[in-house]
Structure 1
Amino acid sequence: MTNQDKLIRIIRNQIPQNASVIDEVAAILNISYDAAHRRISLKSKFSIEETVALCKHFSLSMDLLFTDSKKVIVEKTKEIQSEADMEAYFMESAKRLEYFKNTEGAKMYYSAKDIPLFHTIGGTLLSKFKMYVWLNLLRGSQTDNTFENFTLSRSLLEHSTKLKAVYESAEVHEIWNDTTINSTLQQIYYYFQAGLLSLQNAELLCADLEKVLTEVEHKCNAESANYCLYYNELLILNNNVLITAPDKQALFVPYTMLGYFITSDKETCTNAKDFFRHQIRNSKSLNQSGTRDRKIFFNRARQKTAHYLLRMQEETHTGL
């Protein structure tokens, strides 16, 4: 099989079954139908530039054409070092996921090492605090600017809200464990101890966190068809995210706090989906569990929140 044969076969597998390969190639390369037909029928060859353009469009590794190596091309999200970078990050993320919004059959799988950001964006004090933490940690240097002096632009809030809208339109499968809540609590405690967060705001943030837990628990109680929560007490979760639809899929693998490698490689996404399903089979569905099991899980999380809050209150009163 020639390299051109390989490329055409891969493209056929990437596009919907009822789509025309000739039409797709003509549109991507901006050439006529007849010119695309000659290439697909192997009467003429793709140029190097055309091959690169097709590989970029379909996120294909050139190694697939010239070697037998199992390699894939991944995209990388923009590095965040400023509020403008974060705004661009949310805007690009919303655009990237726009295809999945209101697409019938769209599903999201989330291995929640931390509380998924979709629960903590949307205009609350907690969402503002998470932005504050992310910017501090991603800039590479700590700031002396207190949370109370931190301001959030309206456009950043708008773009993050658009990203949340995609999440709310898909069928979501989240896997949590008893450590999922830890990171957020530790961040609140750290900035409180550093003198960058007042006790009053720390108390309000813990209250917001309680609201998140209550909302998630309510979704489980409601047995929503679009939200499924699983408890896994064995696996170390990693914040991997997989989004699938009948004609498209994307896997997001974290490499920094908000930085992700992204691939739409069909085999990779299929393997990731199989692994998510394996995790789910070995997890407890909190939607289908009885009230007792569900209450035990959420009460443990609330007890942690109460414990951190009490520590901060005691330290304030004793002057530590």
Structure 2
Amino acid sequence: MASSEIQVQFFQHIKNLLPPYKSLVDEISDLLEISNDSAYRRIRGEKFIDLEEIKKISQHFNISLDQVFNLQTNAIVFHGKLNSLNKTGFEEWLDDVLTQLQLVQSQKNKHIYYLVKDMPPFYHFYFPELASFKFFFWMKSILYYEDLKQEKFTTESLCYFKFKETCNKIIHVYNQIPTTEIWNEEGINVTLNQIDLYYQMGLIPTADLTIKLYSQLLETVNHLEKMAESGLKFGMGKSPTFESAPYNMFVNEFVIGDNTFFAELENVRITYLNHSVMYFIGSMDPKFNDAMFKNLDNLIKKSTMISSVGEKERNRFFNKLRKKIEQKMENIN
């Protein structure tokens, strides 16, 4: 491939990542501090970009030359953030979730796939108590916030309201993206066990608050059933509209998910792998994604669709989830 062709491919890849309302020419001219005409000539391959410009562009757009130019190596390039133990670690994580979803939502053609191990975090955001508990658990037991070391989860410690605006944006954006989720009946076990563990340890000090968390999880499951029945995404307590994004729900009784998150966009695929409980790293490596999406396709073919169709299987699945929660509630002293 000629150098000019590689350069054109490089800029085309960047253009695919930009939201529709952003101009590639304006982005490049501002970044490199050059005129729009100079930016156009670089984008068309008429003027070569130097190594310093390649470095600046690649760092700014968080992309890998290896993945863009499809170099023949055995390396698979990922991008993402590591577990942050500073005081703003959780807030940074939440902002990053919103940024990634907005990137997907901004594309003309998009679809996301979620291989569920733990119920997608967005569904906890409908209730202040349930969201706050999940946040408290992550900050205390995963991020090890020093100021929470001796703290218990109470109604006075509802941190959801600090992040309410971001949470609402995340829910809104997620509900606008066509989605396929692959579930197993173990999909609520992580949250159930976290609530149970904290109650047994005395970190949730009252039975009433524990039951409230279980009740809100139960309402969330009921909402998921309504979305599965309609095959559309919509907010809690609301109904589908003509703008509702398609929602496909599959159940696989043999495979427990690992919270892998896939995005299929206009001209690129992204696989986000879960690490450190709540973090993700992503790759746009073509060969890697071709293999991952092939495995995903095989998994979907071996799963049972319970959205829009399959009423009997849908009722059976959600009744199992409800029974799990109700058994936990009955065991509260």
Tell me if TM exceeds 0.5.
yes
Deviations 1:255-303 (A, max 9, x none): 1122111234455445433333222111100114432211111111111
1:169 positional shift:
0.7
Distance in 1 between residues matched to 2:139 and 2:161, nearest whole Å: 16
Structure 2 residue 12 is the aligned partner of structure 1 residue 12: yes
Question: CA 1:292 to 1:206, structure 2 compared with 1: closer, same or farther past 3 Å?
Answer: same
Question: CA 1:299 to 1:241, structure 2 compared with 1: closer, same or farther past 3 Å?
Answer: same
Contact 1:4–1:46 at 8 Å: present in 2 too? no
Structure 2 residue 219 is the aligned partner of structure 1 residue 211: yes
Question: CA 1:46 to 1:158, structure 2 compared with 1: closer, same or farther past 3 Å?
Answer: same
TM-score (norm 1): 0.83
The aligned counterpart of 2:249 is: 229
Deviations 1:1-34 (A, max 9, x none): 4666534434335535x99987775565333355
- One-letter amino acid of the structure 1 residue matched with residue 215 of structure 2: A
Distance in 1 between residues matched to 2:207 and 2:46, nearest whole Å: 73
Contact 1:249–1:266 at 8 Å: present in 2 too? yes
- One-letter amino acid of the structure 2 residue matched with residue 299 of structure 1: N
1:188 positional shift:
0.9
- One-letter amino acid of the structure 1 residue matched with residue 168 of structure 2: T
Secondary structure at the aligned position of 2:273 is classed as strand
Distance in 2 between residues matched to 1:66 and 1:239, nearest whole Å: 27
Distance in 2 between residues matched to 1:196 and 1:86, nearest whole Å: 20
Distance in 2 between residues matched to 1:41 and 1:163, nearest whole Å: 36
Name which of structure 1's ranges 160-169 and 266-275 shifts more when overlaid on structure 2. 266-275
The aligned counterpart of 1:281 is: 301
Secondary structure at the aligned position of 1:15 is classed as helix
Secondary structure at the aligned position of 1:81 is classed as coil
The aligned counterpart of 2:149 is: 143
Distance in 1 between residues matched to 2:188 and 2:159, nearest whole Å: 24
Aligned with 2:51 (options 48, 51, 59)? 48
Distance in 2 between residues matched to 1:40 and 1:216, nearest whole Å: 45
Name which of structure 1's ranges 275-284 and 112-121 shifts more when overlaid on structure 2. 275-284
1:51 positional shift:
1.6
Secondary structure at the aligned position of 2:88 is classed as helix
Structure 2 residue 209 is the aligned partner of structure 1 residue 201: yes
The aligned counterpart of 2:311 is: 291
Question: CA 1:86 to 1:24, structure 2 compared with 1: closer, same or farther past 3 Å?
Answer: closer
Structure 2 residue 167 is the aligned partner of structure 1 residue 167: no
- One-letter amino acid of the structure 2 residue matched with residue 243 of structure 1: A
Deviations 1:52-96 (A, max 9, x none): 123334544344669521434432236343663212221232133
- One-letter amino acid of the structure 1 residue matched with residue 54 of structure 2: T
Contact 1:80–1:138 at 8 Å: present in 2 too? no
TM-score (norm 2): 0.80
Secondary structure at the aligned position of 1:169 is classed as coil
1:132 positional shift:
1.0
The aligned counterpart of 1:255 is: 275
Distance in 2 between residues matched to 1:107 and 1:41, nearest whole Å: 30
Structure 2 residue 119 is the aligned partner of structure 1 residue 112: no
Secondary structure at the aligned position of 2:263 is classed as strand
- Equivalenced residues, count: 312
Please tell me the root mean square deviation across aligned C-alpha atoms, in Å: 3.1
Name which of structure 1's ranges 172-181 and 268-277 shifts more when overlaid on structure 2. 268-277
The aligned counterpart of 2:320 is: 300
Secondary structure at the aligned position of 1:54 is classed as helix
Contact 1:14–1:266 at 8 Å: present in 2 too? no
1:250 positional shift:
3.6
1:212 positional shift:
0.9
